[in-house]
Amino acid sequence: MSKEFDWFLFLLTIILAVCGIIFIYSATRSLNTNSNVIVQSGAAFLGIGAVVAINFFDYEQFKNLVKPIYIFSAAILILVLLFGTSGDWGARSWIRFGSIGVQPAELAKICFILTFSYHLEKVKEKINRPLILLGLILHISVPVGLILMQPDMGSAMVFMFMFACMIFMAGLSYKYIIPILGAGVLSTPLIYKYVLSEYQQKRIQVFLNPDLDPLNRGYNVIQSKIAVGSGQLWGKGYLEGTQNQMGYLPTKSTDFIFSVISEEFGFIGSMIIVIMLFALIWHCFKIAKKADNAYGKYICTGVASMFLFHVFENVGMCIGLMPVTGIPLPFMSYGGTSLLTNMLAVGLVMSVAYHNRPRDTIEVY
């Protein structure tokens, strides 16, 4: 067995986590407390330990725990519906233990990647059979349905994007892909008119034109775009962002952390962060391609697609190109559960790389 520690992915993860702590300090400096920085630093420390531990743990052993993992995922999503508290966007998505909050939907992403990857491996030769495809849809319906009941549309979209990428990697036929995409596009006006509530319709209208409600629903995006634009090429300097430090920028340590980065470090600084994030995503896909079995390939694909959606959605909503959904920027946004989830995901990818065996040239997946 060829075992190799992936130093590139490990060090890149640490650099991103440290950058996130630095930006969170700037975003919360006006609060006169370092509690967010302390929590994020503690989560980063635990996460680094988790990355190393999972790297040396053979990821294929998770196959023996698929059923308990799936049950655990459903259980924590049910618990948050029964005992959860609301977050910044009104969804009942947090379970709190005193001052400590846990977001089960984040942990459920890792559970889904592990269980769905195993499901795909078992049916990869028959994935284009209607009943098999229905079984895969039922697999994702449980976590997505429970998350939509919170309601947390942003997290549900992450799951659906991971699902789409993973079944595409598994060889789903275009005879399904093209009709599904076509039906989705054609049904959009009907969904908007007959399915979405008036509140949800209003949010879409404000996304398309924030000036319709500049002091309420459109306020966040307007202030975010001002912050991003005012940073110009090189930024105003660390701790010198006026939108940030003077409190005009909302939820600046979480959902709009990219706006803080752009204002204080400008286009150059923000692009360096984006490039590092895409380097991590690219490396995950690279490891997926080299994986010596289908289970490892699907795990890496799931992790990469999770990061990819988060980056596109968060950066997009900060510059007004995507609707505001409360999706955090990986490693940058404040949130211990989110950071630990990201670290666990990286650990899984590193485990796939570490336990990879030289591939036989005639081996087919």
Per-residue pLDDT of the chain (365 residues; tens, 9 = 90+): 445 889 999 999 999 999 999 999 999 988 878 889 999 999 999 999 999 999 999 999 999 999 999 999 999 999 999 887 766 555 677 887 766 778 899 999 999 999 999 999 999 889 999 999 999 999 999 999 999 888 788 899 999 999 999 999 999 988 888 888 888 788 888 877 777 667 667 778 888 888 888 877 788 889 999 999 999 999 999 999 999 888 888 889 999 999 999 999 999 999 999 999 999 999 999 999 999 899 999 999 999 999 999 999 999 999 989 888 889 999 999 999 999 999 999 999 999 999 987 554 444 44
Q: Give CA 112 to chain center in angstroms.
A: 13
- Which pLDDT belongs to residue 207? 83
The angle subtended at Cα 255 by Cα 156 and Cα 344, nearest 5°, is 60
pTM (2 d.p.) = 0.93
CA separation, residue 87 to residues 18, 21, 93, 258, 312 (Å)? 25, 21, 7, 20, 22
Alpha-carbon gap, residue 235 to 75, rounded angstroms: 45
CA separation, residue 338 to residues 101, 159, 201, 330 (Å)? 11, 15, 29, 8
Token code pair at residue 203: 């949010």
Helices and strands (H and E) in the chain: how many = 13, 3
- Which pLDDT belongs to residue 360? 47
Token code pair at residue 309: 């959606």
* Cβ atoms 329, 40 nearer than 8 A: no
- Which pLDDT belongs to residue 1? 45
DSSP H stretches of helix in 216-335 = 219-230, 242-245, 257-290, 294-318
Burial of 118 (0-12, 13-18, 19+ CB in 10 A): buried
Using only C-alpha atoms, what is the Rg of the chain? 21
Q: In sequence order, what DSSP letters do the residues of 122-188 get, joined into one string?
A: HHGGGTTSHHHHHHHHHHHHHHHHHHHTTT-HHHHHHHHHHHHHHHHHTT--HHHHHHHHHHHHHHH
- Which pLDDT belongs to residue 91? 67
- Which pLDDT belongs to residue 349? 97
DSSP state of 57: S
Alpha-carbon gap, residue 307 to 327, rounded angstroms: 11
Alpha-carbon gap, residue 85 to 76, rounded angstroms: 13
Alpha-carbon gap, residue 254 to 53, rounded angstroms: 28
DSSP state of 30: G
